[in-house]
Homo-oligomer: A and B are copies of this chain.
Amino acid sequence: MNNYSSKLVNRAVDELSKLPGIGRKSALRLVLHLLKQDIHEVEALGEAIIKMRLEIRFCSSCHNISDDELCEICRNPKRDHSTICVVEEIRDVMAIENTGQYNGIYHVLNGIISPLDGIGPNDLNIISLVDKIGQKKTNEVIMALPTTIEGDTTNYYIYKQLTPFGVLITTIARGVAIGDELEYTDEITLGRSILNRTPYKGTTEYKD
């Protein structure tokens, strides 16, 4: 099943099918597409991937991806540097940025505490978070980790580390998603949304 009558094609299919979510059939479809493209297009793709991996840096403050010592968010003087949102992964930064609802800075843990996977606090960017809060004036740390046992464990561990600094620690709201029907919401989420009910602010619920 690995004979596409060309070693070059075999190799490209092998490499592409290592990517997540791309099987050998999809890889072959991509290869046949690339063969029809202008050589400059294909070089642009190949070089963009290599250049990105070679030259990418991680922000020395928040561990987000960056082209420089500090990322664009940490360099931006218009952001509120006294509010830090703690997330598991770089893609969570992107997801929150896309909402357009947050103007603070971030801290990427690069994982969460998971004893079963052998990931302890020292494998994560927790020390740099504690250092940052010890050095800079911080009003609030928003925990935006997954609602799992691992997420709860990480929340609790960081909470204990930050307690001495007297900083306000919050977690993002959990509740019924906007547009969701109550009857199809799971019981734990629905229960928590009742416990954590918020004052009614008029009809425009979508804007705060």
Contacts and interface: CB of A to CB of B under 8 A. Distances in A.
B28 A20 contact: no
Interface string A135-167: 000000000000000000000000000000000
Contact of A42 (B20, B28, B37, B53): B53
A69 interface: no
Q: Is the interface of A mostly helix, strand, loop or mixed?
A: helix
Closest 4 CB pairs of A and B: A46-B46, A46-B50, A42-B53, A8-B52
Count the copies.
2
Contact of A50 (B42, B65, B71): B42
A26 interface: yes
Nearest to A98: B1
Given A16-B49, A43-B50, 14 more contacts: A1-B98, A5-B97, A8-B55, A9-B52, A11-B48, A11-B51, A12-B49, A12-B51, A15-B49, A19-B30, A28-B94, A42-B53, A45-B46, A46-B49
